[in-house]
Amino acid sequence: MTSDNNVELRVRALESLLLEKGLVEAPAIDEIIDLFENRLGPQNGGKVVVRAWTDPAFKARLLANATEAIVEMGYDAVQGEDMVVVENTPEIHNVVVCTLCSCFPWATLGLPPVWYKSAPYRARAASDPRGVLVEFGTEISDEAQVRVWDSNAELRYMVLPERPAGTGAMNEDELLALVTRDSMIGVTRAQNP
């Protein structure tokens, strides 16, 4: 195992080498960091979810043609070219995996978390989704249906989590705080207020 400290040192060493050898210019590195910290990430997906929770016409457009509805919100980036959004309900729980590798909707959720790319998640989310969901603290009733989406081809999937009960009076910023990246992968629900 490599400690986080060593990873940081190694990244610094690599960055120095790339700059010294003139392979990368410093503003390019700043741009990559800014992209993934501020412009591509689950904050975008969260805004899509909150809009769907609060705007029924948008939700209908999102479920009918997710690509267009997401671009309409300004999230037009790589790995978002062909999107599908699937809706969780009390009867249906959706969860997304890429059994091939790590396909993930960057424009709305950013880069995939490490566990999403791990062989155990990729194998078990397909073969034993209920077991995996329990490990994420997500209990699914025996009556509900679990739908797994293996996004190994060209489309990218995002889950529209259920709006938690007791949130009717919340404003958009308060709702946004309840929408986690994991809830849009489908391994958890949106947080309760």
Q: Active-site positions?
A: 98, 101-103
- The reply to whether 147 sits near another protein by the rule CB under 8 A is yes
Which part of the chain contacts another protein (CB under 8 A), choosing from 7-15, 56-64, 100-108, 173-181?
100-108
Q: Which of 100, 118, 134, 177 binds another protein (CB under 8 A)?
A: 100
Which part of the chain contacts another protein (CB under 8 A), choosing from 21-29, 48-56, 57-65, 158-166?
21-29
Residue 123 token pair? 């194998």
Strand, coil or helix: 176: helix
Residue 46-75 contact track with another protein, rule CB under 8 A, x = bound = ------------------------------
Written as one letter, the residue type at 19 is: L
- The reply to whether 20 sits near another protein by the rule CB under 8 A is no
CA distance 55 to 87: 15
- The reply to whether 124 sits near another protein by the rule CB under 8 A is no
Question: Which helix H or strand E contains 146, and what residues bound it?
Answer: strand 145-150
The C-alpha R_g of the chain, in whole angstroms, comes to 18
Exposure letters 56-69 (e unless 16+ CB within 10 A, then b) = eebbebbeeebbeb
- The reply to whether 151 sits near another protein by the rule CB under 8 A is yes
The nearer residue to another protein, 16 or 152, going by C-beta atoms, is 152
First-to-last alpha carbon distance for the chain, in angstroms, is 37
Strand, coil or helix: 177: coil
Number of residues that bind another protein (CB under 8 A): 40
Which part of the chain contacts another protein (CB under 8 A), choosing from 41-49, 53-61, 143-151, 163-171?
143-151
CA distance 155 to 158: 10
Residues near another protein (CB under 8 A) are: 22-25, 27-28, 30-32, 35, 40, 76-78, 80-82, 84, 99-100, 106-107, 126-130, 142, 144-155
